[in-house]
Structure 1
């Protein structure tokens, strides 16, 4: 940490290199289309006045960064104002107005779009310890009929207090914090920085809208990755062009610290800006999905998931969030799909078994064992479930024995299932013991 502090402090002089001050009409780099900004005369006046008596490096001008000053000192701020009809991928920002009420399922309280603060950090490292410093804090919110993205950046440690004071001044206006893994990363990092700078950890107690967890619940096995950049491309229709990966952000920041040239940070600002827009689109997506059946019929706004496993996972998440009617729509699709993967069938069958819906669970297990690609441990699990059902629920030991025998034959006939590790030996022994027990039960029944 001391090395980082030293490097940052050395730049206090270089960051004031010769250049022109940036006015309110500075160029703003924005994705996909030109972003309109309010005229200076109509911009809302903040409590912290901006004074540009310090001359900024000319490299900040094309990025659209301004010097921001408050009672704690100075930091840099970039602000981009999007009209609400701006389209990012498949969604327009004005959809948040209709979708926000669906987000009430997260906490059981009404959600208004203007109550939501979006947050995304770019930090010097990983983890939430004291050595991880957020050098850029991105926030976004709806206000004055616009979607406003603000990105605060520190050029050296002395600017952190001023940046935190600015962020702190924003917090009381919002009830909800929308993030992607912010509950366990972004917000704890911010809390630690507040403490390290003599501010209270309990400075603000938001209700979290963390979209990483529903994303994992729904797309865990359907998508190759649940990183935000991958989810947005595969499910939100967002394609990043020449994007700087978030993993490179610390390296580019250290390059800026070493050289004093802001140009490498342009891509980091752009990456963070798109993250904020994508967070808003995820809020729209999950808000639409969580509208109650009375508010929105039969997925009228969103397309139905096309893959059976995603249908099951979406249904399970909706059921967890209290929308059992919407979940049943998806479960019915899986049962009626000829090509549903065994994993999807077993997942739904496990749900039905737990809920006591034995009729559909049995249909799903039978569908699994009749699957044209029946092999592996998943197929064996379906046979075993049927064997247990017939043994314990129907006392039909002959049918239970038949399913157990087929499971054992499948296990013995597949070389991949005969690995000589302890777990596989125990599974085979379990099947043999089950078969012997059922043979005895069936023999007594017919003896």
Structure 2
């Protein structure tokens, strides 16, 4: 079986002999030298119109002093609406994003560069090649979406030459799982192509992490396509799944027909727009009502609590507290999220609400489970150590032990046995403190 590099090189030979149908030259702004500082040679870079198959997708060939690669550029006006948000909301919401890095200076939309890759594999090692690099950035009153594509290995250096200069003009890199995947992949490719001496080090805004903090148990999936559908009102029609992108690219390498890449371009473009809308969403959430836009409150108590915990982590304690109170007052609050908030209150020394939450958790744990058992243990410790009320403490630890022993689905491993031993020892100690006999 031929290697990926062999297939790409064969395609390179085929494309090199094909003459373009129409040729035009345009000046490309912001193309810079490789190290990566602006170069006078940028004025020599130009775009070339390719065959009808490429032109129908808006794809052109960009030449620079490092070689050539494909580029597709789409322009969206500020009035464009994607899902429930308009792109023009970014200007009013972006200030809130400074909380991600505790920045005191104002954050502006023009400082954000959005990144999303389509790659030949899943790892971050040297064998994984980003064949499509999607970028989005704000320019004046427009959002520019650029997608750079390589047709063979020799085009990668020219693409990275262009990207190195583009990256250097921005302070923040915005992605979805880019801190773990997209950016490490790009760093590897830059280093392998000799662009490592002054590699750009951005402040990263990775929206997978707040999405996980807030929607971990509320949404069935944290894939960007699912988050955008459930929380941003974005519905994709005939979308090519990202998992198919490598297969479609290999198909293109095999036969030279660019048509299969049309869906990959469109999928990546929607990803970029959704990233912008997700930054609007989190910006509004961090700004609160003070930002002039009021997001609807989460309906699920767990999402309220998780949102509050995230806001508190980001420095917005008053707004977080309002969400905590709404969750506590909800009749739909389940045991698990209440225990999560109780743990937060215990750590903060808010014993009054922590006790209330533990009591509520015990009552709502109709089916035996760890949430009710843990809440009973917490109450036993509170009454024993804080109030010296040994009778109440004994009552709660007895209840916890009975639940643990009666749970038909309970674990029977070493950890479970250790938990049971701990409960028995706690009960024995409380029996001695109350002056009762062990038989009781």
Q: State the 1:78 CA deviation.
A: 0.3
Tell whether the 8 Å contact from 2:93 to 2:291 is kept in structure 1 after alignment.
no
Distance 1:402 1:96 in 2: 55
Kindly indicate whether residue 174 of structure 2 is the aligned counterpart of residue 181 of structure 1: no
> 1:424 maps to which residue?
416
Contact 1:19 1:58 in 2 (8 A): no
TM-aligned CA distance change 1:94 to 1:23, over 3 Å: farther
- State the partner residue of 2:120: 124
Does the aligned pair in 2 maintain the 1:22–1:61 contact within 8 Å?
A: no
In the alignment, the residues of structure 1 paired with residue 89 and residue 58 of structure 2 have an alpha-carbon distance, to the nearest angstrom, of 28
Kept after mapping to 2: 8 A contact 1:80/1:149: yes
What is aligned with 1:10?
A: 10
More displaced 10-residue stretch of structure 1: 425-434 or 322-331: 425-434
Counterpart check, 1:440 vs 2:432:
yes
Instruction: Tell me how far 1:183 sits from its aligned partner.
Output: 1.4
Residue 381 of structure 1 aligns with which residue? 374
Match of 2:36 in 1: none
Q: Which residue of 1 aligns with 2:296?
A: 303
Aligned 8 A contact 1:118 1:178 in 2: yes
Kept in 2, the 8 Å contact 1:126–1:132? The answer is yes
1:71-127 deviation per Cα after TM superposition (whole angstroms, max 9, x unaligned) = 011100000000111111111100000010000101122210011000111111112
Counterpart in the other structure of 2:205:
209
1:35 corresponds to which residue?
A: none
Moved more, 198-207 or 3-12: 198-207
Distance 1:292 1:360 in 2: 25
Q: Distance in 2 between matches of 1:289 and 1:23?
A: 46
**Aligned equivalents of 1:232, 1:14: Cα separation in 2:** 40
User: Which deviates the most, 283-292 or 316-325?
Assistant: 283-292
Q: Structure 2: any 5+ residue segments left out of the alignment?
A: 32-41
Within 1, Cα distance between the matches of 2:249 and 2:68? 18
Correspondence for 1:30: none
Q: Distance in 1 between matches of 2:420 and 2:30?
A: 73
Residue 37 of structure 1 is matched in structure 2 by none
Distance 2:298 2:399 in 1: 34
Q: Which residue of 1 aligns with 2:287?
A: 291
Matched, 1:393 2:389: no
Distance 1:154 1:143 in 2: 25
Which residue in 2 is equivalent to 1:73? 67
Change in 2 beyond 3 A, CA 1:58/1:296? closer
SS at the partner of 2:364?
A: coil
Distance 2:61 2:69 in 1: 6
8 Å CA contact 2:30–2:166 kept in 1: the answer is no
1:269 aligns with 2:272: no
Q: Which residue of 1 aligns with 2:352?
A: 359
- 149, 152, 166: which one aligns with 1:153: 149
Could you tell me how far apart the structure 2 residues matched to 1:388 and 1:365 are? 12
Cα distance in 1 between the residues matched to 2:47 and 2:314: 48
Equivalent residue for 1:20? 21
Structure 1 counterpart of 2:131: 135
What's the CA shift string for 1:122-175, capped at 9, x where partnerless?
111112111111111100001031000000000001111111111112122211
Q: Quick check: 1:368–1:382 contact (8 Å CA) kept in 2?
A: yes
Tell me if structure 2 keeps the 8 A contact 1:194–1:201: no
Q: Is the 8 A contact 1:15 1:57 kept in 2?
A: no
CA shift for structure 1 position 44: 6.2
> Is contact 1:106–1:209 with CA below 8 Å preserved after alignment?
yes
Counterpart-to-counterpart distance in 1, 2:227 and 2:262: 24
Q: Quote the Cα distance in structure 2 between the aligned partners of 1:202 and 1:439.
A: 68
> What is the number of residues matched between the two proteins?
423
Q: Kindly tell me: are residues 114 and 315 of structure 1, through their superposed partners in 2, closer, same or farther at Cα, counting changes over 3 Å? A: same
> In 1, Cα distance between the equivalents of 2:271 and 2:254?
26
Higher deviation after alignment, 359-368 or 55-64: 55-64
SS in 1 for 2:128: coil
Aligned CA RMSD, in angstroms, stands at 2.2
Query: What is residue 165 of structure 1 aligned with on the other side?
Result: 161
Shift of 1:316: 0.7
**SS of equivalent to 1:291:** helix
CA 1:195–1:2 in structure 2 vs 1: closer, same or farther (change >3 Å)? farther
The residue matched to 1:68 in structure 2 has which SS? strand
In the alignment, which residue of structure 2 is the partner of 1:282?
A: 278
For 1:181 and 1:201, how far apart are their aligned partners in 2? 25
Contact 1:15/1:56, CA 8 A, preserved across alignment: no
Distance 1:392 1:22, change over 3 A: farther
- Residues 128 and 185, structure 1, Cα contact 8 Å, conserved in 2: yes
Could you tell me which residue of structure 2 aligns to residue 197 of structure 1?
Answer: 193
